[in-house]
Amino acid sequence: MQYFLNGLPIGAIYAVVALSYSLIYTSSGVLNWSQGDMVMLGAYIGFTLTQVFHWSFTPALLASMVVVGLVGVIVQRLILKPLRERKAPPINVVIATLGVAIITRNIALAIWGPDAQVFPSPVGDKPLQLSMISVTHQDILVVCVGILVMAILQYFLKYTKEGKALRAVAQDRRAAVLMGVDTQKSDAVAFAASAALGASAGILVAPIFFVTFNMGAGIGLKGFVAAVIGGLGSIPGSIAGGFFLGTLESLAGGQISSGYRDAITFALLILVLWLKPSGLFITKSRQKV
């Protein structure tokens, strides 16, 4: 039970990052490899606002999501849009996002330096002891805010005009164009929303780990693995994949060794790609016409 609870916070982080990958992939067909660095930017902006300007946690969380969301729009306008207009192959877009990741990392290094920064928890570090189970306030905060962010995204996709447009583009981009949907605007919204999701994951995970300029690489990669395991492009699958991966890592670290967690994670990824490449939590559905 303790291992399961320990896996929930990092699982929530993986789920949020996995959602950000799936959101862009379904709407624009792009694998954005700079997504992990949006996590890092969110952590650094949150750290600066809380530790330098003495903002409270909630305004810093919202502000970091807005700022990093704008960064996502800039990436879409400066990279994705011109490449689409030139009908560039998808691999060119992927390589371009890798370039964005490296540039973002180096900008963070130039601004905040190479030293790891400590982000104090806004709710304290004292654990709650319930019989044989121990859980920290920060873990509870991460899970609760992570679930809240997922719920807000679901509401956005189902009940807002922009969210419905994103779903239409994801289902059939060409048909959406014929129906009058502005696909460039939808791409910008997808990049903004996914970057904001990454920022929320960054500021939530910052009190658990140190804030460094390369922290996004590992978290971003694990989020992508969670998305693939759950079903890349599926919102419910990405959420399930994130929590599944977080729990698996906690169990592997506790029962086997923390040094083998990454090996077990990527072995599972290879196994899923081999046996069920659509994802563990994707079920085929039949539609009557």
d(CA 125, CA 135): 10
| pLDDT band, very low/low/confident/very high, at 284 (cuts 50, 70, 90) | low
Contact 34, 224 (CB under 8 A): no
- The half-sphere exposure of 84 on its side-chain side, counting CA atoms within 13 A, is 13
Predicted confidence band of residue 288 (pLDDT cuts 50, 70, 90): very low
User: What is d(CA 107, CA 186) in angstroms, rounded to the nearest whole number?
Assistant: 28
Torsion angles phi and psi, residue 114, rounded to 5: -85, -15
User: Residue 107 and residue 215: Cα distance in Å, rounded?
Assistant: 14
Q: What is the DSSP string of 76-90?
A: IIIIIHHHHHTT--H
Least confident of 29-43, 183-197, 209-223, 273-287: 273-287
pLDDT tens digits along 116-136: 999 999 988 778 777 778 888
What is the structure's pLDDT at 286? 45
CA 280 to chain centre: 19
pTM of the model: 0.93
- Residues 30, 21: contact at Cβ < 8 Å? no
- Torsion sign (Cα): 227, 229, 233, 238: negative
Would you place residue 103 in the very low, low, confident or very high pLDDT band (cuts 50, 70, 90)?
very high
pLDDT tens for residues 222-260?
999 999 999 998 999 999 999 999 999 998 887 887 788
Which of 21, 30, 29, 37 has its CA nearest to residue 231? 21
Q: Report the number of secondary-structure helices (H) and strands (E) in the chain.
A: 12, 2
Position with higher pLDDT, 216 vs 260? 216
Beta pairing, strands 133-136 & 127-130: antiparallel
pLDDT for 147-204, tens place per residue?
Answer: 999 999 999 999 999 999 998 988 888 888 888 888 889 999 999 999 999 999 999 9
pLDDT band, residue 65 (cuts 50/70/90): very high
Q: Between these two residues, 34 and 1, which has the higher pLDDT value?
A: 34
What is the pLDDT confidence band of residue 287, given thresholds at 50, 70 and 90?
very low
d(CA 242, CA 223): 7
Contacts of 115 (CB under 8 A, 6+ apart): none
